[in-house]
Amino acid sequence: QVQLVESGGGLVESGGSLQLTCVLSGRTFTNLAMAWFRQAPGKGREFVAAISWSGGSTFYADSVKGRFTISRDNRKSTAFLQMNSLKPEDTADYYCAGDFRLNQRVSTSQGDYDYWGQGTQVTVSS
């Protein structure tokens, strides 16, 4: 059974940093494209960042570009989201997602990802 498990969320002051981690279990990490999405209270889920299987392609939402960095360690079946210069509007539940079909491509569409984590909460105080 494929599982994605996020960790690293928490409460941080505006301007602070957090690193989210997403670990895959139940299947090899090979060919798995990864992404992070988030859902703020009362809003729909939105794309944050994506990375291809090799890590050679990344893509970011305009709202986080220059502040967030997505990366991965394929030997550890782990993806990361480094979040710097956090703002109160970054407050949300953050979800990692993965799909084996995307491989070297990246996608901003939720429908392209088959596997999802349970989410980790990030709260940024002003």
Sign of CA dihedral 10, 25, 108, 81: positive
* SS3 assignment, position 69: strand
Answer yes or no: is pLDDT of 103 > 80: no
- pLDDT band of residue 38 (cuts 50, 70, 90) is very high
Q: What percent of the chain has pLDDT over 90?
A: 90
What is the Cα–Cα distance from 17 to 107, expressed in whole angstroms?
A: 25
pLDDT at 1: 84
Q: How confident is the model over 30-56, as a mean pLDDT?
A: 95
